[in-house]
Chain A
Amino acid sequence: MAGTPSRPDPVTIDGRPTIDGPLTIDGTELGSRLILGTGGATSHASLEAAVRASGTELVTVALRRVPKDGVGGLLDLLGDCGVRLLPNTAGCRTARDALLTARLGREALETSWVKLEVIADDRTLLPDVVETIDAAEQLVRDGFVVLPYTNDDPIAAQRLVDAGCAAVMPLGAPIGSGLGIRNPHAIELIRELVDVPVILDAGIGTASHAALAMELGCDAVLLATAVTRAEDPEAMARAMHHAVEAGWLARHAGRIPVRRLARASSPTEGLVEW
């Protein structure tokens, strides 16, 4: 718009980001509200195409034993894409394991950011919230910027914020399920209760799910499988880019109220009388 600065003050009077404000995590501004997980990509070429098409500035990686045939080119690839790395603690079942994995990630990738993930079992991959909160408290004390994957439980989210987390990342549905957002009301409640970015993490299957997350008030969406295991990951990454943008704009554009009955959009005055 003419006469307005290109980067307006990202905070409104009520403390919420404005329509043009960037996603800000721990004081760091990110130009995209889509965070991409790298798991599930069938090749480096496919992953690179998806990362570039998504417009993301933050991607998650896992930490695993160095393969016998060397470290591979993942870090070089992501470096070429110019994205920031978010190491996760995927696969951890206890706070103790998550702490060690987070520290390995900090050492290997030279970042204090961590996606904290402590799961309860392999069948559901649901978060173990007790272990997650325990780990979050210790990681915050250790200087980490903690982004925890958590249940769609407003109270758990609040406890994670109390522990000092820089964001909360409630699930929409189980990881990899593509079921979408099973409890939209809970996601809205989380948004109302906490004063850090809310990032919908897990369960996204298609573009409408990502748009809905943003319409519910989320500040960002984190997804992996929906893109990496789509038939055309690059096209789905583009779709998600637009979905997150559209959802964010719609949320902030002030949607019309829901009505039970119709309201004509054409004028009734001057109607031709037959």
Chain B
Amino acid sequence: MSNQTLIRESRVSRTAAMALMFLLAIYFLLPIYFLIVAATKPQGDLASTNGLAFSHFDLFSNLGTLFGRSDGIFGRWALNSVIYAVLGAAVGTLISALCGYALAKFKFRGREFLFSVILGGVLVPTTALALPLFLLFSATGIVNTYLAVFLPSIVSPFGVYLARIFTAAAVPEEILESARLDGAGEFRTFFSVAIRLMAPSLVTIFLFQFVAIWNNFFLPMVMLQKESLFPITLGLYQWNGQTARAPLLQESVITGSLVSIVPVIIVFILLQRFWRTGLASGSLK
């Protein structure tokens, strides 16, 4: 092959690769772009104007309608989602870190057995857990409370798995030894030495668990009847089911969907560095 054909070929594949990636980027962006456009339109323009072009800019009045609907229930749902996801992920990350750290750094009998039980937990479909949990919780009276969604959310077997891998890689034995020699107890060593070295990976675990709880829908649907306890996903699902009878809800479902995803997307773009290293470590065997 001559040099010139080589260059021409690489130019062709360069163009083809860029074209393919742009097509895929359009595919990934399209629904979000549509949502942004639709959220700025008055209800009447949704069906009558081109879905991909802006018409009247009514975003702020749409937001007003959204947050004013049914005594501000949407704001409540947003707050609930934040409570479930932030608190749940924070507690979940801490207990995963403690457990993963112990599994990585302490040698004791049954360690590998416990770890394989946790790995088995990764494979248990969480939707299969929701129904029996509902029965157990209704027997104890926790159903239809914050706790019914919060408590199961703090358990993340995948988080422990990641914490163990991260700890093994990021926390050198020597540092722990020196802390112990200085007379620090195991908890002191963990909280003042190990946790600092684990910090980037803890952010990753937090992020993944935050998203899992924020996106969860089946568990709250099974557990909650009281609207005031709903997270955003369940609330919007319920509104979406009512649009056939109350078409004016459509605009609020659209605006609400946008409100629910924009903060998470921004957080993800800002914290890229963390989840990228997280995914890299998660994929190691």
Please determine whether chains A and B interact with each other in the same assembly.
no
A contact residues vs B (CB 8 Å cutoff): none
Question: Which residues of B line the A interface, CB within 8 A?
Answer: none
